[in-house]
Amino acid sequence: MSPLLTVTDVAAVLSKSEKWVTAAARDGVLPSRKVGRSYRFTEADIASYVEGAASVKAEAPVRRRRRVA
């Protein structure tokens, strides 16, 4: 079994704040496990999140502003 990552570890990997990682885990955006009062993450879950986020970003439609006359 691979070691579990802490909120600090995941924040460094994703280049996000610890506050964002905690909120994302609480909201179910990032797959996590609650251990006591803190969240823990597996490397596989974070890797799948990164791959999924990249594919969503690539598939996102280009939004253009309408010209206002």
What is the token pair recorded at 12? 């460094």
pLDDT number for residue 42: 95
| Domains in the chain, number | 1
Q: Is residue 29 part of a domain?
A: yes
pLDDT tens by residue, 46-59: 998 998 876 665 55
Q: Are 7 and 25 in contact (CB under 8 A)?
A: yes
Residue range 10-14: mean pLDDT, rounded: 95
1 has a pLDDT exceeding 80: no
pLDDT tens by residue, 15-49: 999 999 999 999 999 999 999 999 999 999 999 89
Which residue reads 């990997």 in tokens?
A: 13
Range of the domain at 43: 7-59
- From CA 40, how far away is CA 65, in angstroms rounded? 41
Q: Is residue 1 part of a domain?
A: no
- pTM score of the predicted model: 0.74
